[in-house]
Structure 1
Amino acid sequence: MKKWLTAIIFVLVVGALAACGSTDKKENSSDKASKTEEAKEIKIGATAGPYSDMLKKAIKPGLEEKGYKVEIVEFSDYIQPNKALNNDDIQANLFQHTIYLENFAKENKMDLTGLISVPTAPMGIYSNTYKSLDDVKNGSTITIPNDPTNSARAFNTLEAEGLIKLTENVNPLTVSEKDIKENKKDLKFQPIEAGQLPRSVESADLAAVPGNFALAAKMDLLSALALENMMDQYRNVVAVKTSNKDSQLAKDIKEVVKSADFEKIIDKDFKGFGKPEWMK
Structure 2
Amino acid sequence: MSTFSRRTLFASGAGLAALTLAACGGDDTALEEKDGVTTIRIAATPVPHMAILTFVKDNLAADAGLELDLQEQTEYPIPNRLLNDGEVDANFFQHKPYLDTEIEENGYELTALEPVHLEPLGIYSDSLSSLDDLADGDEIGVPNDPSNRGRALALLAEQGLFTLTEGIEPTDATKDDIVDNPKSLNLSEIDPALLPRTKGDFAAAVINGNYALEADLKPAEDALVLESPDGNPYANLLAIRTADVENSALKKLEELMHSEDVRTFIEDTYAGGVIPAF
With the shorter chain as reference, the TM-score category is 0.7 to 0.9
Deviation, 1:106, is 4.2
- Structure 1 residue identity aligned to 2:274: F
**1:182 aligned partner:** 180
1:121-160 correspondence runs (5 A): 121-160=119-158
- Structure 1 residue identity aligned to 2:214: A
Match of 2:110 among 112, 129, 134: 112
Q: Tell me, in whole angstroms, the C-alpha distance in 2 between the residues paired with 1:107 and 1:62.
A: 36
Q: Tell me, in whole angstroms, the C-alpha distance in 1 between the residues paired with 2:128 and 2:248.
A: 51
Match of 1:94 among 92, 95, 98: 92
Q: Tell me, in whole angstroms, the C-alpha distance in 2 between the residues paired with 1:111 and 1:86.
A: 7
Deviation, 1:116, is 1.7
Deviation, 1:189, is 1.9
Structure 1 vs Structure 2: percent identity of aligned residues?
33
Deviation, 1:261, is 1.2
**1:37 aligned partner:** 35
Point out where structure 2 has 5 or more consecutive residues left out of the alignment: 1-31
**1:226 aligned partner:** 225
- Structure 2 residue identity aligned to 1:72: L
Contact 2:148 2:171 in 1 (8 A): no
Contact 2:124 2:225 in 1 (8 A): yes
**1:242 aligned partner:** 242
Deviation, 1:70, is 2.2
- The structure where helix makes up a greater share of residues is 1
Q: TM-score, normalised by structure 2?
A: 0.77
Q: Tell me, in whole angstroms, the C-alpha distance in 2 between the residues paired with 1:59 and 1:134.
A: 45
Q: Tell me, in whole angstroms, the C-alpha distance in 2 between the residues paired with 1:80 and 1:190.
A: 25
Deviation, 1:240, is 1.2
Q: Tell me, in whole angstroms, the C-alpha distance in 2 between the residues paired with 1:158 and 1:166.
A: 10
DSSP 3-state at the match of 1:198: helix
Q: What does the per-residue CA deviation read over 1:59-80, in whole Å, with 9 as the maximum and x for residues that have no partner?
A: 6532322122222122242344
Q: Tell me, in whole angstroms, the C-alpha distance in 1 between the residues paired with 2:62 and 2:159.
A: 43
Q: Does 1:273 align with 2:271?
A: no
- Structure 2 residue identity aligned to 1:235: A
Deviation, 1:39, is 5.4
Q: Tell me, in whole angstroms, the C-alpha distance in 1 between the residues paired with 2:129 and 2:149.
A: 23
Q: What does the per-residue CA deviation read over 1:28-83, in whole Å, with 9 as the maximum and x for residues that have no partner?
A: xxxxxx95635523222212332111111246532322122222122242344233
DSSP 3-state at the match of 1:70: strand
Point out where structure 1 has 5 or more consecutive residues left out of the alignment: 1-33
- Structure 2 residue identity aligned to 1:228: E
- Structure 2 residue identity aligned to 1:249: A
* Further displaced range: 229-238 or 256-265: 229-238
Contact 1:63 1:70 in 2 (8 A): yes
Contact 2:267 2:276 in 1 (8 A): no
Q: Tell me, in whole angstroms, the C-alpha distance in 1 between the residues paired with 2:58 and 2:158.
A: 36
CA shift in 2, pair 1:179/1:209, >3 Å: same
Structure with the greater relative contact order (CA < 8 A, sep ≥ 6): 1 or 2? 2
DSSP 3-state at the match of 2:172: coil
* Further displaced range: 76-85 or 121-130: 76-85
Larger radius of gyration: 1
Match of 2:197 among 196, 199, 202: 199
> Number of paired residues?
244
Q: Tell me, in whole angstroms, the C-alpha distance in 2 between the residues paired with 1:35 and 1:137.
A: 60
Deviation, 1:145, is 2.2
Contact 1:59 1:257 in 2 (8 A): no
**2:71 aligned partner:** 73
DSSP 3-state at the match of 2:170: coil
Contact 1:58 1:266 in 2 (8 A): no
